[in-house]
Amino acid sequence: QVQLVQSGAEVKKPGASVNVSCKTSGYTFTAYYMHWVRQAPGQGLEWMGRINPNSGGTNYAQKFQGRVTMTRDTSISTAYMELSGLRYDDTAVFYCATVTMDDALKWGQGTLVTVSS
């Protein structure tokens, strides 16, 4: 079955960058877009952007333009999301989610990123 396994929790200082990985299995990695979603503590789901694992092409939400970079390594079926210039309000759980055949989202387990001095 489809599985998305994300990297572990991170603690970063303000201004630093964080790189979250999302290793996939159970489906053809290059066949479906990978999306990234942020959820701040006690808040809702916020779409950050997506990557086409086949071409590497990306689309980012305007809010994150210039700070987020999404990449992939097709040899290991893994997607990555890097967020730079971290601020305290970037403290959140970051999810990768792939689109299924029915256009629904299948989610990873989430990665908590804490920004703290």
Binding to other proteins by residue 27, rule CB under 8 A?
A: no
Please state the closest distance from residue 30 (CB atom) to other proteins, in A: 17
Contact 32, 12 (CB under 8 A): no
- Please name the residues in contact with 61: beta carbons below 8 A apart, sequence gap of 6 or more: 46, 47, 48, 49
Euclidean distance between CA atoms 40 and 102, whole angstroms:
27
Please state the closest distance from residue 19 (CB atom) to other proteins, in A: 20
Binding to other proteins by residue 5, rule CB under 8 A?
A: no
Euclidean distance between CA atoms 71 and 56, whole angstroms:
7
For other proteins, which is the closer residue by CB, 2 or 76? 2
Q: Which residues bind other proteins (CB under 8 A)?
A: 33, 35, 37, 44-47, 50, 59, 61, 95, 102-110
